[in-house]
Structure formats: C-alpha cells, structure tokens
C-alpha cells in the first residue's frame, strides 16, 4: 500500500511458543502484501487496476471481500455526502498523485461506479471514473490484521500503517494504554490513549504535488481545504480512515459521526474535539470487516 506497516505483539491469552509467534507475524505480513497486491493502483496486476481498465466498458466480477468493501465505500460516501468518495482516482491523476496523469479535473457525480448485488460485479457509469482506495486501504488491512490477531488470542498489540492509521488491542505490556500523538512535530497535538480502539489521521500536508495536498473533494474537483488535519478514533480502522478523509474535506460533517466514534480537527492552528450532539448517527452497520 505504498507505506510501512509495523506491529508490536505484547501478549497473548495463553503461552505461545516462539515458532508460533513467528508464524503469526508472518501471517500479518502476508495480509499486508496480499492486500497491497489486490488494492493498490500502483500495481498493474491488482484487481483495482483491472477494474479501472475494464469497468468503463464492461462489468467486472469481484470476489466477496472486495465487493463487500466497495459496498461499504458506497455507504461511507452516502453518509458523508461524498466528502469521502473512492471514485476520486481521476482527480488523483489530474493533480499528479498517481501515474499516467489524465485530462483536466472535473467533478465526480455520485454514482460513478455501480454495484450489481446479484452478479457481484462493478461497472462505471462514466468513462473517466477511476476507483482509488488510497483513503481506506490501510484501515481495511488493519482491521483484517486485528481480526487475525484476536483469532490467535492476542491480548496486547498495536499495529500501524504509515503512522497515520493505527489499531490497538488491549493495553501496552506495562498495563498502561497505548499512547499516540495525533500529529508528529506538533507539540500541541492531543495525545490519545488507545485501548481496543483504532485511529486514523488525514492531512492535506501529508503528501503534496506542486503545492497542493493529496486529499480530493470530488464535488468541486479540487484538493480539499476544509481542515488542516482530521483524526477519528473508534472501533474500526477502516471507518476511521473514511471519516478522517471526509472531515478534511468538510469539517461540518463532524455531527454525523456514528456515536461510537469521535474526532479531533486542526483548524487555524487550534485543535477541536467532536461535540456531542443529538444528530450523531447511530448507524454502525457494515462497519466491522473481518478476515474471511
């Protein structure tokens, strides 16, 4: 997924011999490698690259896991009024963040990719649509890793992808919470205690090209400028990633966060925590992907 993953295994529910722990670590690494090979737009042989080549002209059949992921992506897009939208691939190309830059930027209307739930296929509704899962793939992989570790009885672990997406199991080995600063180099950034929770941070300054950030607003066909950084904490790393991206695009969405999630946003050099409001969504369906 174009970044570094690291895992600290603290403890397990029962004594596990060293060879088995090594095998668990290898299984975690294989999950990352497999999902990179499947989901990265930088891999010509990935299923996402195949979809982007073929879906403008024909329906592409998907395996159950990828179909479920794209189905959840459509749900996140609807929940966030398309502030998060995996159909932002053409904008990523147009602004120089992906290979083979295409034509001039253009807004991406909702429904750029269509899912057939009976045939388990995807097809694009417009010829210039491109799927890019860069805003959610790390969180998806972390949820798979978390599920794998829990199956093996892990009671203490922390895993990150590129330091911007993190999931924690239990407490740190010394009994304290896993502690994470939300923004490296910012002495005023909140420090979060993670216990059986995940976290994702998005910031336009995380990667730039020609002076613009890498988070796209598909509604305006421009790089996002709503927040300087947005961090979301909650049960699923995948959901945290989708919503942290959405809040950078449109900070006013903070009151739509599901109740089991909270956010911190950096705007005008000030950090703000999500207010508790009655309008916060309670819809948590399809928010806990597991490793099939």
Which pLDDT score, from 0 to 100, does residue 275 have? 65
Which pLDDT score, from 0 to 100, does residue 292 have? 37
Evaluate if pTM is beyond 0.95: no
Tens digit of pLDDT at every position of the chain (292 positions)? 778 999 999 999 999 998 999 999 999 999 999 999 999 998 999 999 999 999 999 999 999 999 999 999 999 999 999 999 998 888 887 777 766 655 666 777 677 899 999 999 999 998 878 899 988 999 999 999 999 999 999 999 999 999 999 999 999 999 999 999 998 778 889 999 999 999 999 988 777 666 677 788 888 888 888 899 999 999 999 999 999 999 999 999 998 998 899 999 999 889 999 865 555 555 544 454 544 3
Quote the strand ranges of the chain, DSSP E. 5-12, 60-61, 113-116, 121-124, 154-161, 165-169, 178-181, 191-194, 198-202, 208-209, 212-213, 216-217, 222-223, 229-234, 262-267, 270-273
For 51, 99, 230, the CA distances from 82, given in Å and listed in that order, are 21, 24, 16
In this structure, how many other beta carbons lie within 10 angstroms of the beta carbon of residue 276?
9
- Angle, helices 18-39/137-151, rounded to nearest 10 degrees: 150
One-character DSSP codes across 44-105: TTSHHHHHHHHTTTS-EE--HHHHHHHHHHHHHHHHTTTSS-TTBHHHHHHTTSSSS--SS-
Q: Which domains are delineated in the chain? A: 1-292 (3.10.520.10)
Which pLDDT score, from 0 to 100, does residue 111 have? 77
Which pLDDT score, from 0 to 100, does residue 89 have? 82
Q: What is the pLDDT of residues 241-291, one digit of tens each?
A: 999 999 999 999 998 998 899 999 999 889 999 865 555 555 544 454 544
Which pLDDT score, from 0 to 100, does residue 100 have? 60
Q: Are 179 and 223 a contacting pair, CB within 8 Å?
A: no
CA distance 222 to 214: 10
Which pLDDT score, from 0 to 100, does residue 217 have? 86
Which pLDDT score, from 0 to 100, does residue 225 have? 86
């Amino acid at each position: 997924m174009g970044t570094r993953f690291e895992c600290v295994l603290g403890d397990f529910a029962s004594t596990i011999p060293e060879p088995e722990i090594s095998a668990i670590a290898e299984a975690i690494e294989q999950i990352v490698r497999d999902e990179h090979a499947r989901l990265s737009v930088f891999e010509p042989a990935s299923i996402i690259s195949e979809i982007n080549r073929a879906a403008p002209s024909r329906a592409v059949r998907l395996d159950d896991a990828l179909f479920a992921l794209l189905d959840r992506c459509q749900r996140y897009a609807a929940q966030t009024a398309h502030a998060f939208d995996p159909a932002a691939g053409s904008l990523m190309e147009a602004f120089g963040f992906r290979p083979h830059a295409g034509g001039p930027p253009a807004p991406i209307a909702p429904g750029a990719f269509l899912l057939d739930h009976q045939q388990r296929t995807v097809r694009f509704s417009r010829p210039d649509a491109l799927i890019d899962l860069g805003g959610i793939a790390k969180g998806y992989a972390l949820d798979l890793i978390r599920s794998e570790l829990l199956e093996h009885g892990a009671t203490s672990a922390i895993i990150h992808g590129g330091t911007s997406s993190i999931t924690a199991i239990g407490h740190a080995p010394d009994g304290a919470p896993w502690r994470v600063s939300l923004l490296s180099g910012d002495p005023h950034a909140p420090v979060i205690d993670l216990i059986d929770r995940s976290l994702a941070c998005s910031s336009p300054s995380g990667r730039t090209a020609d002076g613009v950030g890498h988070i796209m607003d598909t509604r305006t066909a421009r790089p996002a400028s709503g927040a300087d950084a947005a961090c979301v904490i909650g049960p699923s790393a995948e959901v945290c990633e989708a919503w942290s991206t959405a809040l950078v695009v449109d900070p006013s969405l903070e009151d739509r966060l599901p109740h089991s999630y909270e956010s911190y946003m950096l705007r005008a050099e000030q950090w703000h925590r999500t207010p508790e409001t009655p309008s916060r969504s309670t819809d948590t369906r399809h928010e806990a992907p597991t490793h099939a």
